[in-house]
Amino acid sequence: MVVRAESLGKRFGRIDALQGLSFNVPEGSTFALVGANGAGKTTTIKVLMNILEPTVGTATVLDTDTRALSPREFARIGYVSEHQDMPTRMTVSAYIDYLRPFYPTWDRALETDILRQFRLPPDRRVGDLSHGMRMKMGLACALPFRPALLVLDEPLSGLDPLVRDEVLERLRQVGDMTIVISSHELTEIETMTTHVAFLDRGRLLFQEALSDLVARVRFVRAALHAAPRTPLQFPPEWLDVRVDETALSFIDTRFSEHALRAKVAAVVGDVGHIVAEPVALRTIYTSLARAVRDDKVSA
């Protein structure tokens, strides 16, 4: 595994920002840490990058304890943050010239291609770049040395749609590297994600390969022949349940096509046509987080 976290916790005063996170990032994956603002995504990233030290637990990156990361490891890690510090008085070209010698694997042809695609003005000072241009600049500094691990902390936050599309297009061209990306822009990153970890208030709800998650979660709507008897007892794996005299709908987090009709009939009685549809990543997260918040399911 490129990244491992074991019972990771981080406390700020009386606030537990992270509470016992354990997850693994497979080599070659695009691993998304998703959740609302304040879920703990940035704190997790900062612990992985040794910007913050964990209060409890351990984390390793490239088989090295994060607290012992050295220039040797950082030469293989690209890191781009929404609020990343860069020398504001240097020009784009001067800053890239400054960085290049630190990375033996720096690819000048890739650098040229990225600068062309992003249309970064070489003579403009970094401090005069727009927010979108600064995010592009971060990628232009992190990608040319072809890192083994690319860590992106909210790379799409605050970007206009055009810049967001350009950034995503570049990320899809990254090639053979592992990516850890934190984001609450779930719709945009879904197409490039292979694995996902859902965070809520510093806790890990679950982690899973996206293909497995998509396969087991469905939005179900069932036509009812008669008003269901009451009171109804719904299985805990059903979220966002809505029922009236003619229809039942819910998100099934343990979907089985073979067992679905019998399960629905056991709850509401005689049932008619049933439709089961895939669910977007954003909807899965919001439904699960709402259920955890309301204590309807456990994390």
Same domain, 249 and 179: no
Distance of alpha carbon 175 from alpha carbon 169, whole angstroms: 12
Q: End of a domain among 209, 244, 262?
A: 209
Q: Alpha carbon of 105 to those of 3, 117, 147, 183: distances in Å?
A: 21, 21, 8, 28
- Domain that includes residue 271, residue range: 218-278
Which of 22-36, 160-174, 243-257, 282-296 is least confident? 282-296
**Which residue's structure tokens are 């990608």?**
143
Tell whether 292 is covered by a domain.
Answer: no
Same domain, 132 and 269: no
| pLDDT tens column, 157-192 | 777 888 888 888 888 887 789 999 998 777 778 888
Q: What is the pTM of this model?
A: 0.86
Same domain, 222 and 125: no
Task: Give the per-residue pLDDT at 148.
Answer: 95
Q: SS3 for 160?
A: coil
| pLDDT tens column, 79-136 | 999 888 899 999 999 999 999 999 999 999 999 999 999 999 999 999 999 988 998 9
Same domain, 49 and 179: yes
| pLDDT tens column, 219-256 | 999 999 888 877 888 999 999 999 988 999 999 999 99
156 Cβ contact list (under 8 Å, min separation 6) = 164, 167, 168, 183, 185, 188, 189
Tell whether 42 is covered by a domain.
Answer: yes
Cβ neighbours, 10 Å, residue 160: 10
- Contact criterion met (CB below 8 Å) for 1 and 26: yes
The CATH code of the domain that includes 50 is: 3.40.50.300
Strand partners, 219: 251, 277
Same domain, 114 and 257: no
Same domain, 198 and 257: no
Distance of alpha carbon 248 from alpha carbon 109, whole angstroms: 57
Tell whether 250 is covered by a domain.
Answer: yes
Tell whether 291 is covered by a domain.
Answer: no
Task: Give the per-residue pLDDT at 206.
Answer: 85
